[in-house]
Each structure stands twice: as structure tokens, then as C-alpha cells.
Structure 1
Amino acid sequence: MEAQLEQIREQQKESWNKFSAGWKKWDGLTMNFLQPMGDAIVDHLNPRNGEVVLDVAAGTGEPGLTIAARLRGGRVVITDLADDMLVIARENAARRGITNIETRACDVSELPFADNYFDAISCRFGFMFFPDMTMAAAEIYRVLKPGGKVAAAVWGGPEKNFWVTAIMGAINRKLELSPPPSGAPGMFRCAKEGLMADLFSQAGFKNVAQQEVSGQLNCQTVDVYWDMMTEIAAPVVAGLSKADEATQAEIKAEVYQAVRHKYPQGDILIDSGALVISGEK
């Protein structure tokens, strides 16, 4: 891997480990939010008893744990770049009585598995952050058995994801931050129409399909929204760290105003839009 890509990977590993405590705190809310995308992935994979499944960039364990709970005589290997996130995944598995999983901290671009090893592979909201998506897709293809299925979720465009733009928009406006370079890791990196389908096809996958999936972030109050986003979202925390106390207060006030304007009744239930891309080897 090129030195620049290694640097991005190490920065991401440090960031995900740093925010693992926040993800543990908000796991119930975030997993409910992301469940429709995970369910769509599971539907595409349709895992069968006895299969061995890989869940890439699984964070606190989903959708790998849901898949494992459905399998009889099979198992799921749950991977992530950050060891501290996998600690939470193991805790979640133990709490739910799921024993047919193992965890492995590794980089998707250098998967420590043999060729043609897995029956199915899932990846929920990982591709946007992979330093080299082409390399990641090639590695996923390599370790998937012929005839095996893959399904991945990525975020749709900013116009469908107010839960991101409400806070990041305010930060970018107040601090006049430059947009990231084209193709750099980020929330909406994979939203361009056809990008992920082309990536999968170029990697060698066939029968590639794309599905739009919506979800809802049920914060209930704007305070919960603000607290959650400032405790789990690395770009938000990084942006706020560049602002002085007065500017941070202005950003917070702008976010509260935007959210309350959009949800005047006070029930903060924010829609989201994602894409689920599937294929076969």
C-alpha cells in the first residue's frame, strides 16, 4: 500500500478507536437507525445454514451479529480496522447469546484470508472511508467463493441526509472549510449514480444491482441529536475543534435553529437515504 494510503488508514484507525466509547454509548439509537440498511444487506445475501460469512468494517458488530443469529452450523467473521470497536462487538454478541462469531482487526485492502474462502460478504457503510476502494473491492472479490454473494451499503446524496448536513453544513459555513478533494474518504463519496455498481463490475462481480433504502434517526429531541453527533462523528468533532468557544456556540445555535425549523412539532425523526449494492462472484 502506498505511504499516503497507509497514513489515511492509520488516521482512521486512531479515530475509530478514539470514538468507540461514544459508539458504545449510542449503540441502541444508531443500530436502530441503520437497521433497514442492514436488513437489506441480509436479504440480498440470504445466508444459509453452514455458511461462513465475512462482515467487513462491522464496527460494533452489525449486520454480522444479525447474520450469525440466523445461521445454524455456520459462522461469521466480523472485521474492523479498530480493535476497540470489536471489543464492543464481542460484548454485544455475548449479551445476545451469539457464539458463532469471531472477530479480527484488519484492513480491507489486506484481508488475512485465503482465496475463495467465504460464502457471503457484507459491508455496511465502510466503502466511503476505505483509502482505496478499488483495492478493497478486489480483496473482497478475492476472498469470496465462486457463486458467493456480496452486499454493501453506502450513503446517498446530501439532499437525502439532513442528519449529516444539518451539523456539517453549519460547521463548514462558519469555518469556511474547503471541500475535501474529489474521491477522498467522506460520507457522500459513494453517492454518485453508478459509482458503486461500476466499482463492483470492474472488480469482477456479476449480476450487480442497486437498491435505494431509507431509514429514520429517531432522536426525539434536538439535544439528543447534538449530543450523539458530537460524540460519535469524527468529522463533526474535528470541525468543532477548529472553532473557538464563541464560534462553537454559534454553530450549535445554527444547528438547533435548523433542526427545530424542519421539525417544528419537536419530534426529531430525521429521514435518511442510502444505497445497497449487491453482486455475485
Structure 2
Amino acid sequence: MNAELETIREQQKATWNKFSAGWRKWDDFTMDWLRPMGEEIIRRLQIRPTDLVLDVAAGTGEPGLSIAALARDGRVVITDLAEGMLAVARDKAADRGISNYETVACDVSELPFPDDTFDAVSCRFGFMFFPDMALAAREMHRVLKPGGRLAASVWGGPAQNAWITTIMGTISRHLQLPAPPAGAPGMFRCAGPGFLPELLRQAGFDHVHEAEITGQLRSSSKEAYWQFMNEVAAPVVAALSQADAATREKIRTEVFARIDEQCSDGSTALNYGTVVAYGQK
């Protein structure tokens, strides 16, 4: 990677380590919310008991730990940029009695594994943030054995993802946020029709296909939603750090009003839309 992309990587590492405490606090809630995408990844990978599996950008350990329970005579290598996130994964593994795994803090663009090592690779919500997505896809292809399988999920477009646009859209109306550079890492970077499948094809994958997974982020209350987004969502925290107390309160009030508009039944259930893509080496 060039110097600019390496700088982005180091900034991301610092951010994820900074927010690892929030992810630990909200882990049960977050993993329940994201479980359908993990289950779809696992379904497509068709994990066998003896598989050696690589879980890339695993954060606090999923779907890698669930895969380890299926590959009971195999092993899962769980990777992430942030050691703070992997520490949560190790604690979860200990709580669940999972031992056929290891954690490795590393960059997907420089995977520290030989060619043709793994039977399968999983990646849940990593691609959008990789500084060089094409290089990341090629690295995943490189470390797979011939015939090895890859499954990865990314977020769909803004219109499908009220769970984040409800708060970020409100913030943008109150604050002058700089527009990110074209193609910069971000939530909706892979949202274009067929984007991820084409990326995998260009990296050398065959038998590529995709599926949409939709659902809702269901918080116990509007206040719980606000707290969650302020403790795990780095873009929200970065934006709100520019607001004074009065502006922050206006944003909070408007976010709550927007939730009420979208949830006429009185719930706090905000839509999400994702894409899961599959490919084979």
C-alpha cells in the first residue's frame, strides 16, 4: 500500500482500539443484531468439521467463534487490526469453552499466512473499510486452498439503512461535515449493485453470487439507541464532538422525533439492508 493508505490503516487501528470498550459493553446486543449476516456467511461456506478457516476483520470474534463450534476437529484463525477488539473475542471464547481458535492482529492487505492455507474465509462487514479493497480480496484469494470458499457481507445503500441514516442524517442537518473523498472507506462504499461480486471476480474468484439480507435494529428505547450509537459508532462520535451542548440536544431531540415517525407502533426498530457475496477459488 502507498503511504496515504497506510495512514488510513493506522487511523483505523487507533479508532477500533479506542472503541473496543464500547463494543465490549454492547457485544450481546450487537451480535444478536448482526447474527443473520453471520448465519448466512456460515450457510454459504458449508463448514466441515476439519476445516481450517480464516475470519477477517472479526472484531469481537464473530462469525469466527460460531464457525469454530462447527469446525470442531479443525481450527479458526480470527484476525482484526485492533488488539483491543480481539481481547473481547478471547474472553468470549473462554466463556463459551471454545479452544480450537487463535487470534492474530494483522492487516488484511498483508495477511501473514502462506499461499493455499485455508479451506474457507469469512468477512463480516470489513470490505467497506479496507483502504485497498482489491488488494484485500486478492490476499484472501491467495491464502485459500484451491476450491476454497469465501463469504463476505457489506452494508447496502443509505435508503435501506435507517439505523445509521436516522442519526447521521440529523447530524448533517445541524453541522457542516466535510464530504469524504470519493472512494474513501465508509459505511456505504460497497453498496452499488453488484459491487462486491465484481470485486471478487476481479480478484480471481469463480462461482460468485450474492444475496440480500434485511432486518431491523431493535433497541429497547430511543435512549438506548442514542447511547448505543454514541458508544460504538465512530462517525457519530466524531461528528457530535463538533457540537456544543445546545446543538447536541437539538440533534438528540430530532433523532427521537424521526424514530417516532418511522416507528408508528411505538417501537424503536430501524431497518437495515445488507449484501452477502460468495466466491470460490
Shared fold by TM > 0.5? yes
Q: Is the 8 A contact 1:220 1:266 kept in 2?
A: no
Question: In the alignment, what sits opposite 1:178?
Answer: 178
Deviations 1:211-236 (A, max 9, x none): 00113212021011000000000000
**Offset, 1:266:** 2.2
Taking the aligned partners of 1:264 and 1:72, their CA distance within structure 2 comes to 45
Question: In the alignment, what sits opposite 2:29?
Answer: 29
**Offset, 1:267:** 1.5
Deviations 1:141-167 (A, max 9, x none): 110111000000000011111000000
Question: In the alignment, what sits opposite 2:3?
Answer: 3
Question: In the alignment, what sits opposite 2:206?
Answer: 206
**Offset, 1:71:** 1.4
Taking the aligned partners of 1:65 and 1:15, their CA distance within structure 2 comes to 23
Q: Is the 8 A contact 1:37 1:215 kept in 2?
A: no
Question: In the alignment, what sits opposite 1:160?
Answer: 160
Taking the aligned partners of 1:156 and 1:190, their CA distance within structure 2 comes to 7
Question: In the alignment, what sits opposite 2:219?
Answer: 219
Taking the aligned partners of 1:79 and 1:106, their CA distance within structure 2 comes to 6
Question: In the alignment, what sits opposite 1:49?
Answer: 49
Q: Is the 8 A contact 1:58 1:123 kept in 2?
A: yes
| 1:224-263 equivalences in 2 (<5 Å) | 224-263=224-263
TM-score (norm 2): 0.98
**Offset, 1:121:** 0.1
Taking the aligned partners of 2:225 and 2:64, their CA distance within structure 1 comes to 26
Question: In the alignment, what sits opposite 1:114?
Answer: 114
Taking the aligned partners of 1:38 and 1:232, their CA distance within structure 2 comes to 19
Q: Which amino acid aligns with 2:2?
A: E
Taking the aligned partners of 2:30 and 2:147, their CA distance within structure 1 comes to 32
**Offset, 1:271:** 2.1
**Offset, 1:176:** 2.7
**Offset, 1:200:** 0.3
Taking the aligned partners of 2:215 and 2:14, their CA distance within structure 1 comes to 28
Q: Is the 8 A contact 1:149 1:280 kept in 2?
A: yes
Taking the aligned partners of 2:10 and 2:254, their CA distance within structure 1 comes to 33
Deviations 1:168-207 (A, max 9, x none): 1011111132332221100000000111111000000000
Question: In the alignment, what sits opposite 1:131?
Answer: 131
**Offset, 1:23:** 0.3
User: What runs of 5+ residues in structure 2 fail to find an aligned partner?
Assistant: none
- CA RMSD, aligned part only? 0.8
- Which secondary structure does the structure 2 equivalent of 1:169 belong to? helix
Residue correspondences, number: 281
- Which secondary structure does the structure 2 equivalent of 1:253 belong to? helix
TM-score (norm 1): 0.98
State yes or no: 1:88 paired with 2:88.
Answer: yes
Deviations 1:87-117 (A, max 9, x none): 0000111111111110000000000000010
Taking the aligned partners of 1:170 and 1:206, their CA distance within structure 2 comes to 42
Deviations 1:43-96 (A, max 9, x none): 010110111000000000000001001112101000000000000000111111
Greater Cα offset, 214-223 or 199-208: 214-223
Greater Cα offset, 63-72 or 231-240: 63-72
Q: Which amino acid aligns with 1:56?
A: V
Taking the aligned partners of 1:265 and 1:195, their CA distance within structure 2 comes to 35
Taking the aligned partners of 1:133 and 1:186, their CA distance within structure 2 comes to 12
User: What runs of 5+ residues in structure 1 fail to find an aligned partner?
Assistant: none
Taking the aligned partners of 2:280 and 2:186, their CA distance within structure 1 comes to 26
Q: Which amino acid aligns with 2:11?
A: Q
Question: In the alignment, what sits opposite 1:148?
Answer: 148
Question: In the alignment, what sits opposite 1:275?
Answer: 275
Taking the aligned partners of 1:174 and 1:135, their CA distance within structure 2 comes to 37
Moved over 3 A (4+): none
